[in-house]
A and B are shown apart, each in its own frame.
Chain A
């Protein structure tokens, strides 16, 4: 899919995703080695966006499995369409049982869920397994077969193997430690907060109307807040929101009043706001 790491950065950038060298390298390797990519990092640094950008670059369909507590085989893999099977049985009354049985367990009655969808078919696909840590530990076992061999076993149909391997991205917020078995099958990528230079470019790209000097100040303030010990440090998403807010307020430069009024966009806890105000020498809020 990609020829070099620079090629990855350039083509991702063309879709509006500015990748750090770490991200570009890992995406390149995931493509080369044909391994799934496990992405961890704080909320709002663009883990899900990465999968979308890769799908766009590759001209592939994005198949998304959103994990939650209680997601199971019939939501993730496949399910038999019971209602349709019943209809089929009652429609063919004078058939022998053997004919009916072979018929109702055919592909026509199979409801494919994301994991199976990603494996079947010849068109290129990107499989995004979002918030893997939210799913129960049993689901990980289900993923192992899919991720290591790109195959799914349906007892009535046999084993379905991918003719064309999808590019797999798993994301996790580390609210639960994923099992070692799952981690071993993946390339690991931690997306942290970007460095100042990259974040400045991201802000300029996402909020084109913002003045360059102001963008620099915005990034510096956010960087200082991240160095503090806060309950919830601002993420890239918050930086962009703040830049949008400043643009909407018509601010040309940062000053006490503007920062104080718009602090709520960056920080979501009152304790944090007070702490930040003390740090930035704002008057009492």
Chain B
């Protein structure tokens, strides 16, 4: 890297900070100044040191790192332009990739990713190319089909069979995943050179898992969300405990304070606090688990299950157009969160004659058959998008449930502006119970702290 002028580096740095801010990372001016000092202390010679130095000064939490790394790659790229020399053909690339995967050499893999994007990823008509696509590169290169070849390679190289060799397939798969990440980063870098860094940094870098919309989250993102259930639950539990402590200190009981003040001539010397009944609240969850919102309800169910020791009783009901209790499935499901959704759909009676969700029938059935689950100490959460597929929303059933319960809330994973469009009965339900927009894990976290009873 040639030594750039001081102005260029500080522009680069503020650009990086702006891009991170656009992704919701909160960075103050003080941190930016620290980052500049870090650059001065570390120099620009070693890119990885620079990366760590900037991460240490700019970031405040673990989750922000996965946004930071791709953005850093755009603002402080590994190089400029494509690799030198002829673009390699597909077979040759696969050959060299296989040996790089076998040796697990990261630097070699990065070089191959650059060559692959250059040779296979370009599209468009103009000389050079209009853009580069990681999808197209990987589709033509098919690194996943190298698995068997790499395995045989490594087997042949090492001596006798070893215990750890049974893990070989997974290890190679992980290396291929790394290579896919490298290709994606390289394609982003090439595109950014053509279209402008700022735009690509804003648009092409995936947000952190807790800011992904439940409704649009992919499989990998949902898996990542599931891993955050336990830490999130722990965090929420401490927040709930703090709220409970504050509530236990309680408010002043005016009647008893005045009564006590009689002995001191009417001067209230000793305030008497209202005593709280030490009853743990009960929780009932009604979850729509139909395809459209299952990601959201699965996550929420797991979260509530992880929080179960905060409540005296948690009961979870799932529905599509019939309703059934799944509390038992959930208790055992904690060990295997991935299969939870499938197991619920397999073992509980959730559908009648058709497979689409029907809130009216499900709520009616709940009010009729499981009425006793709801009492004056119960808080009811309904989870779903309130899309009834044009059938009767059955408002009296929900009203009946809300009247029996202490509190009733509805968490809707749809954007508020979508409520009431098409077959959504959200406004009608929102007239009866508190309805909250809950699109991301972050929103869910704040809602849970605010709404859960203590």
Residues of chain A whose beta carbon lies under 8 Å from any beta carbon of chain B? 5, 21-22, 25-26, 28-30, 32-33, 35, 40, 137, 174-177, 180, 183-184, 187-190, 213, 216-217, 220-221, 223-224, 227, 229, 231, 253-256, 259, 271, 275, 280-281
Contact: B164 with A187, CB < 8 Å?
no
Residue of A nearest to B227 (CB): A229
In the bound assembly, the distance between CA atoms of A21 and B53 in angstroms comes to 10
Instruction: Give chain B's interface secondary structure class.
Output: helix
Shortest distance between the CB of B423 and any CB in chain A (Å): 36
Contact: A184 with B337, CB < 8 Å?
no
Residue of A nearest to B37 (CB): A33
In the bound assembly, the distance between CA atoms of A236 and B373 in angstroms comes to 46
Whether a CB of chain A sits under 8 angstroms from the CB of B144 is no
Shortest distance between the CB of B175 and any CB in chain A (Å): 11
Residues of A close to B227: CB separation below 8 A: 229
Query: A32-B41, A190-B62 known; A25 and B53 CB under 8 Å?
Result: yes
How many A-B residue pairs have C-beta atoms within 8 angstroms? Tell me: 102
Contact: A180 with B34, CB < 8 Å?
no
Contact pick for A180, options B26, B48, B234, B238, CB 8 Å: B26
Residues of chain B whose beta carbon lies under 8 Å from any beta carbon of chain A? 26, 28, 30-31, 34, 37-38, 41-42, 46, 48-49, 52-53, 55-57, 59-62, 65, 162-164, 166-167, 170-171, 174, 226-227, 231, 234-235, 238, 242, 335, 337-338
Query: A174-B62, A254-B163 known; A189 and B56 CB under 8 Å?
Result: yes
Shortest distance between the CB of B448 and any CB in chain A (Å): 14
Contact pick for A187, options B42, B57, B62, B231, CB 8 Å: B57
Contact: B52 with A184, CB < 8 Å?
no
Residues of A close to B26: CB separation below 8 A: 180
Residues of A close to B226: CB separation below 8 A: 229
A-B contact pairs, 10 of them (CB 8 A): A5-B46, A22-B52, A33-B38, A183-B61, A188-B55, A188-B60, A227-B170, A254-B164, A255-B163, A256-B163
In the bound assembly, the distance between CA atoms of A78 and B227 in angstroms comes to 41
Residue of A nearest to B223 (CB): A229
Query: A29-B53, A176-B235 known; A221 and B167 CB under 8 Å?
Result: yes
Residue of A nearest to B33 (CB): A33
Residues of A close to B167: CB separation below 8 A: 220-221, 223-224, 280
Shortest distance between the CB of A50 and any CB in chain B (Å): 13
Task: Add 17 more A-B contacts to A40-B62, A176-B235, A180-B60 (CB < 8 A).
Answer: A21-B49, A21-B52, A25-B49, A33-B37, A137-B242, A174-B235, A175-B234, A175-B235, A177-B235, A183-B61, A184-B28, A187-B34, A188-B60, A190-B62, A224-B170, A253-B162, A271-B335
Residues of B close to A184: CB separation below 8 A: 28, 30-31, 60
| In the A-B complex, the 4 residue pairs with the closest CB atoms | A254-B163, A25-B52, A183-B60, A217-B164
Residues of B close to A229: CB separation below 8 A: 226-227, 337-338
Shortest distance between the CB of A54 and any CB in chain B (Å): 15
Shortest distance between the CB of B320 and any CB in chain A (Å): 27
In the bound assembly, the distance between CA atoms of A141 and B343 in angstroms comes to 47
Contact: B56 with A187, CB < 8 Å?
yes
In the bound assembly, the distance between CA atoms of A203 and B226 in angstroms comes to 31
Contact: A25 with B56, CB < 8 Å?
yes
In the bound assembly, the distance between CA atoms of A137 and B59 in angstroms comes to 21
In the bound assembly, the distance between CA atoms of A188 and B170 in angstroms comes to 32
Residues of B close to A177: CB separation below 8 A: 235
In the bound assembly, the distance between CA atoms of A213 and B52 in angstroms comes to 32
Residues of A close to B34: CB separation below 8 A: 33, 35, 187
Residue of A nearest to B46 (CB): A5
Shortest distance between the CB of A208 and any CB in chain B (Å): 21
Most B C-beta atoms less than 10 A away, residue of A22, A30, A213, A253? A22
Residues of A close to B42: CB separation below 8 A: 5, 25, 28-29
Contact: A281 with B162, CB < 8 Å?
no
In the bound assembly, the distance between CA atoms of A40 and B59 in angstroms comes to 12
Shortest distance between the CB of B218 and any CB in chain A (Å): 17
In the bound assembly, the distance between CA atoms of A35 and B53 in angstroms comes to 13
Residues of A close to B65: CB separation below 8 A: 190
Contact pick for A29, options B41, B163, B231, B338, CB 8 Å: B41
In the bound assembly, the distance between CA atoms of A28 and B226 in angstroms comes to 36
In the bound assembly, the distance between CA atoms of A227 and B167 in angstroms comes to 11
Contact pick for A175, options B52, B57, B238, B242, CB 8 Å: B238
Residues of A close to B31: CB separation below 8 A: 184
Residues of B close to A35: CB separation below 8 A: 34
Contact: A174 with B231, CB < 8 Å?
yes
Query: A21-B52, A29-B38, A190-B65 known; A281 and B57 CB under 8 Å?
Result: no
In the bound assembly, the distance between CA atoms of A137 and B56 in angstroms comes to 23
Residues of A close to B59: CB separation below 8 A: 188
In the bound assembly, the distance between CA atoms of A216 and B162 in angstroms comes to 11
In the bound assembly, the distance between CA atoms of A154 and B231 in angstroms comes to 38
Residue of A nearest to B62 (CB): A190
In the bound assembly, the distance between CA atoms of A229 and B238 in angstroms comes to 24
Residues of B close to A221: CB separation below 8 A: 163-164, 167
Shortest distance between the CB of B56 and any CB in chain A (Å): 4
Contact pick for B162, options A174, A180, A223, A254, CB 8 Å: A254
In the bound assembly, the distance between CA atoms of A28 and B170 in angstroms comes to 36
In the bound assembly, the distance between CA atoms of A47 and B317 in angstroms comes to 43
Contact pick for A281, options B49, B166, B238, CB 8 Å: B166
Contact pick for B49, options A5, A175, A213, A224, CB 8 Å: A5
